Amino acid sequence: MKVLITGFEPFGGEKINPSWEAVKELSDEIDGAQIVKKELPVSFKKVREILPKLIEDVAPDVIILTGQAGGRFNITVERVAINIMDSTTADNDDYVPEDEPIYMNAPSAYFATLPIKSIVKSLRDEGIPAMVSNTAGTYVCNTAMYVALHHVALKGLKAKAGFIHVPYIPEQVLDKPRPSMPLEMIRKALEIAVKESLREV
């Protein structure tokens, strides 16, 4: 078994991205599955180019994409990705899309195929604040989730796929009144998500 799990590079003036910091700390093997960890660029265009190739190269059974959602209080497991790129904030390539489809003539949305409710329950059982989220936004996180699910559907792959948003870590909020979560708790949450997802494969 093989799990592809990704985090994003820093963006928006931040020096670190807790999604990648947590992914980096995961073991290379969890419950007998190989864990392939990759950092994605915060770029609408590059994610569309890189992610399908990455999925083809790794050939994972489970795809868990992760990203930072500064301002959220808990781990949020995303339910749906929509076919739109829309932002008032530039990505790391200074690109600011407005009402642009990720892919022309493609479905309006895809639902995650990860066991989102089971993941949330397992996280809460371990004392980790978590909930299902019904919006991944319209920034690069949503684009990555949509690209992955679209590629899996297009190619008829059996891989389970979805997206998990994580809060800031404490060092990011020293000078701003925003919620945060310890990095070790985020790492543990992702490990639990991997284990729960493997049970469904």
The pair of three-digit structure tokens given for residue 36, joined into one six-digit string: 């392939």
Is residue 109 a contact partner of residue 83, using CB atoms and an 8 Å limit? Answer: yes
Fill in the DSSP letter of residue 170: G
Which value, in Å, is the radius of gyration of the alpha carbons in the chain?
16
Q: Which two tokens stand for residue 132?
A: 């299902």
Q: Single out the catalytic residue among 21, 141, 191, 196.
A: 141
The question of whether 29 is a catalytic residue gets the answer: no
165 is catalytic: yes
Enter the tokens of residue 195: 């284990």
* CA separation for the pair 8, 66 (Å, rounded): 7
Distance between CA atoms of 82 and 122, rounded to whole angstroms?
26
Q: Is 78 a catalytic residue?
A: yes
161 closest CA partner among 170, 173, 172, 153: 153
In the set 21, 78, 191, 196, the catalytic residue is 78
Among 21, 150, 151, 165, the active-site one is 165
- Report the SS3 class of residue 160: strand
DSSP symbols for 72-96: --SEEEE-EEES-B--SS--TT---
What is the set of active-site residues? Answer: 78, 141, 165
